[in-house]
Chains A and B, each alone.
Chain A
Amino acid sequence: MTDLKTLAAECLAKLKEAGADAAQARLSLSETREFNVDGGEFSLFRTIFNRSMTLTAFRENKTGSVTLNSFEPADIERAVSDCMAGVESDKPDPARGIAENQGERELTYGAPEPDAEKFFARTRELKEEIEKRYPTIIMEQMINSHDKTESVYADTNGNLFHLLYGSYGVMLMFSAHRGDKSSSFMGCGYATVDLDTPLIEQGDVARVLADTEKQIDTVPVTGSFVGTVVLAPDCLSDLLGCAIDSFATGAALIDGTSVWRDKLGKEVASPDFTLSLAPHDPAVVLPQQFTGDGYLTEDFDLIKDGVLESFVAGVYVSNKVGCPRSKNTATGWLVMPAGEKTLDELIAGIDDGLLVYRFSGGHPAGNGDFSGVAKNSFRIKDGKIADAVSETMISGNLAEMLFHFVGASSERVKNGYSVLPFAAFSGITVSGK
C-alpha cells in the first residue's frame, strides 16, 4: 500500500536537492465504480484505479509544474528533472509564492467506501421510476458513479493535508418524445452521500423531468421584447460562473480586461443581490479544503448586498494585481440566499418574460455581452407559465444583469456543490422569429 505522506516528503526532498527554493507535492489514489445506461438500457459497468502526482517547484521566483500518474521511482526522477527544466524556462516574477505554515490536517468526509450493490439497486430504481412516472422521456445516457479519493498535499513550508473522501454522482441526459416530435435535450445531476433516499427524490431531478415532458410542443416567440427572465438553478450557476470567470478571476484581472477591475468595495449588483463562494456550506458534499497555493479554505461573500467584497485571487493574482487574497478559489461552490417568495409567487409578478432551464450561448464576451438560445424554456405571460418556446434567443450583459436582479425563489436546489434558487432578472432582450 502506497504511503502518500512518505512519498510526498520524498518528492519534496528530491525537488530541494535539484535546486528548488520551495516546492509543492499533490498526490492522490482514486477508485471509481460507474454504471452507465445508454439509450434506455444498462450498457456498462466500469471501474477505474488511478493515481496522480503533481509536482510544482520554485527557484528564484521562477516556477514549473509536472503532472503524472505513476509513482515508479524512475518516473519520479524524470518528473523532478522535467519540473526543474520548467523552472529554468521561466523568468523571475516576484509575485509567485505558496502558503505559509498552517500545520497538518487529517480529514475524512463524504462517503469514502461505496456500497456498490445498494447503489446499483438505487440506480435501477431511478431508471424504472423515470420510465413509470415520465413515459415520454428517452434516457440518452445515465452515468451514476462512486468516486473515492485519498490525497495528500505537502509543501516545503510544512503544510501537510491528508484527505480521505468519496461521494456518489448521478448524471442524466434525456429528452421527451411523442411521435416524431421531441423536446430539446436536457441534463441534470448531483453529488450525494445519501443512499437511503431514492435518487429520484434528490437534487432537482423530478422537477426537471416533469418540465421537460411539457416541452415537446413548443411555440416560437414572435418579434422581440425586453422582459424579465427567471433562470433555473443550473442555468443560473452557468451564467454566474461565466461572470466570475470574466470579471473576478486570474487572467482577466491581470490583463486588465475585467470590467470589475476597479470595483472592489463598490456596487456591482442590485442591493438585494448576495452571492457566496461557500465550499463549507452544510449542503456541500465535497468541500474545497485548500487552495492551489496551499491555504486552508473558508467561505466568503463575493458580492454582499450588491457590493463586490472580494476577487477570487490566489497568491499570484493577489500579488500581481495588489488585491487581498481570497479565502477560497472554489468558483464552482456557489451559494445564494433564498428569497421570500415561492417560485410561483416570483413568476406571478412578471408580465412578460421567460423561465429558462438552459442557456446555449457559449462563454459570453469578455465585457459580459451574452446572446444565445433559451433552451428548455417557457414563456411567462401575465404572471403565469405559458407555452414552451423554441428558436428563442435571449441577450444582455452579465454585468448589467446583476443590477437588474428582481428576486430569488424561496426554493433552493442543492446539487452537492451549489445551493441556488431560481432567480429573476429584468431588462433581458428576448427575440424570436
Chain B
Amino acid sequence: MLHEFTVRGRDLFAGEPDAEVRRQRNTRRSIALVQGDLLTNERAETAGLSARVWRGGVAGFASIADTSEESVRRVLDEAKKNAAFLDGQVALGKPALPKAPSGAFRMTREPGDPEQKAYVDFARAVDEYVVANCPKLVSRRLMFRADCMEKVLTVSGGTDAHTYLPRCYLYLIFSTETSEGVPVELVSVVGGYGSFDVLFRDPKDLFPEVDLLYGKLLAKAEGVRPAPGLKTCILGGELTGMLAHEAVGHTVEADLVLGGSVAGPMLGKVVASPLVSLTDYAHSAFGKSAPLPVYVDDEGTPAVDAEIIRDGILVGYMNNRDTACRFGMKPQGNARAYDFSDEPLIRMRNTAILPGKSRLSDMIASVEDGYYLTDTRNGQADTTGEFMFGISMGYEIKNGKLGRALLDTTISGVAFEMLKTVDMVSDTVTWNSSGFCGKKQPMPVGLGGPELRCTLMMGGR
C-alpha cells in the first residue's frame, strides 16, 4: 500500500496555482500455459512519483521512479522548470483553468496479491480438464493476466484521492481444424474487476465455460463463410460495446475533436437512430457497479457519467479540464494516466450503448436472411468513424431461425451512418473489461451494450 502525502495543499504546492502530484504503483501478474508448457511466469511492479504544473495554457510534467516524500519536491521543481521552458517558448498566454470541486476520496481496502503459484496451479487444473474433455483440440493456450493500479493524488485545487483499480482475467484460447485441415480458433475471457483470490476460487467453476467454448469451436469448424456485402445483422453485445468504444467513443474524446475527428461539426445533430443512446459511465451503470469503476480522475475531478448520444442526437464530448474549458463544457472525470510516468489523457471509462425494449429471440425471429454476430477478435476505427471489426463467431439467420456457424470474417462501416440503420435494440447489456485501450498510453476500460439489429457490410473471404 502506498503512503499518502504527509504534506498537502498550500505547503506542498508553494504558490503554484494549478498543479498535481501523483504517487502510483502498478502491478502485473502474467502466466501463459501453451500446450501445458509454462511459457510465461512473470511478476512485474512499477512505482513512482509524477507532477504536472500548468503555465499559460501549457503543461510541464516530470516523473521519477521513487515514491519517497523527499522526491516530491524534486519532481515538482522539474515540472515547474519544464512548464516555464515551454511557456517561454510558445507564449500561448492562456488563463488558468477553472478548479474542480475540492474534497477527498479514499478506498481503504487493498486488493489481494496472491503468490504466483496460486495462478499457475489454477491454470494447470483447468488445463487438465481441457485435456481430458476436449479431445478434438489441436492446440490450447491458457493465460492469466492480473493488473492493479494504485494511485495517491494530491491537487492544488480539486479532489485528493487514494484509489485502486484491480482486474484479473483467464484467457482460454482453443484451436481445432476444419475438415480441410484449416485451423480455426476461438477465445473466451473469464474474470473482471477485483483480484485473483476473489474472482477465481475453484477451477471447477471454469469447467462450464470450457465446455461452452469447446462446443462453439467445434460448431465453428463446421462453419461457412458469410456472403460479402450489405446484410441485415444482429450485432451481439460484445460487438456493440466495441462499436461504442472504438467507432463512437474515440471520435468524441475532446482532444481528438480538436484534432479533426468527425464529431467536431456533429454536436447537436442526429448521428444515430432515435433508439440509440450512449453514455460513458463513471462508476455505476444500470443500478450496479460499472465494470471498472472510476471515482476521481487524475486531475482531481470527481467522476460522473458523460452522456454522449441521447435518442440519436450527439449531446456531448468527453473532456479533461483543458478541453472542457475550450468547449464550454464541464469536466466529468475522464482524465486518466496509466503509469506513474504518464500524464493524464482524455480516456473512456465504461462506455456503453443503452439497452432498449426488444427481446433477442424476437430480434432473431424478425430477420429473414442475415447474420447474428456474437464474438470479436479485434476491432479498429479511426477519427472518421470508419470501423473494421474481426468477427470470430457468429451464425446465419434464415427465415427467423439461427443456422450454421460462421468462419472468421470481418464487418466494416461508418459509425454515424451505420447507427442510423438500427431498428431494434435488445433489453440486455453485455459488458467486457479485459482489454486495454491504446492511445499513447494503454488504459483498462469497460465497454458494453445490448444486441442491435442493423445493416452492416460483411467482409469477404
Contact = CB atoms under 8 A, between A and B. Distances in A.
Interface residues of B, number: 79
B460 A393 contact: yes
Contact of A366 (B121, B183, B390, B412): B183
A168 B34 CA distance: 38
B148 to A, nearest CB: 14
Nearest to A430: B460
Interface in A21-54: 35, 38-51
B206 interface: no
A366 B300 CA distance: 44
Interface string A177-191: 100101111000000
Interface stretch (B15-23, B84-92, B95-103, B427-435): B84-92
Interface stretch (B61-69, B162-170, B365-373): B61-69
Nearest to A180: B265
Interface string B354-391: 00000000000000000000000111111110101010
A43 B58 contact: yes
A119 B384 CA distance: 32
Interface stretch (A3-11, A87-95, A155-163, A338-346): A87-95
Nearest to A78: B45
Interface in A55-94: 63-70, 82-83, 85-86, 88-91, 93
Given A38-B259, A47-B63, A48-B63, A63 B383 contact: no
A45 B228 contact: no
A49 B116 contact: no
B259 A372 contact: no
A365 B185 contact: yes
Contacts, number: 243
Given A46-B82, A68-B46, A256-B138, A90 B59 contact: no
Of B37, B120, B230, most buried by chain A (CB within 10 Å of CB) is B37
Interface string B41-82: 111111110000000001111111110000000000010001
Interface in A248-289: 250-251, 254-257
Contact of B388 (A42, A65, A360): A360
Nearest to A71: B65
Contact of B58 (A44, A366, A390, A433): A44
Given A85-B115, A140-B383, A361-B388, A124 B47 contact: no
Contacts of B64: 49-50
A365 B41 contact: no
Contacts of A173: 259
Contacts of B408: 365, 369, 371
Interface in B111-130: 115-117, 119-121
B258 interface: yes
A184 B386 contact: yes
Interface in B127-163: 138-141
A110 interface: no
Contacts of A372: 380, 388, 390, 410, 412, 459
B343 A50 contact: no
B48 A50 contact: yes
B440 interface: yes
Contact of B42 (A67, A177, A390): A67
B58 A255 contact: no
B107 interface: no
Contacts of A63: 38, 41
B459 A138 contact: no
A410 interface: no
A381 interface: no
Nearest to B27: A68
Interface in B231-272: 255-256, 258-260, 262, 265
B460 A395 contact: yes
Given A67-B42, A68-B45, A86-B42, A224 B460 contact: yes
Given A39-B255, A45-B85, A67 B62 contact: no
A302 interface: no
A206 B354 CA distance: 44
A46 B342 CA distance: 9
A46 B380 contact: no
A90 B61 contact: no
Contacts of B66: 70
A254 B92 contact: no
Contacts of B45: 67-69
Given A174-B260, A362-B379, 15 more contacts: A43-B59, A46-B63, A51-B65, A70-B66, A85-B117, A89-B119, A140-B260, A182-B383, A251-B141, A255-B141, A256-B35, A257-B183, A366-B175, A391-B457, A395-B461
13 contacts: A51-B65, A64-B41, A66-B43, A68-B44, A93-B37, A182-B260, A184-B384, A257-B175, A372-B459, A391-B457, A393-B412, A395-B460, A431-B228
Interface of B: 32, 34-35, 37-39, 41-48, 58-66, 78, 82-83, 85-86, 89-90, 92, 115-117, 119-121, 138-141, 175, 182-185, 228, 230, 255-256, 258-260, 262, 265, 341, 343, 377-384, 386, 388, 390, 408-410, 412-414, 440, 457, 459-461
Instruction: State the 9 A-B residue pairs at the shortest beta-carbon distance, nearest first.
Output: A140-B259, A362-B378, A39-B258, A255-B139, A89-B117, A138-B260, A67-B44, A395-B461, A185-B382
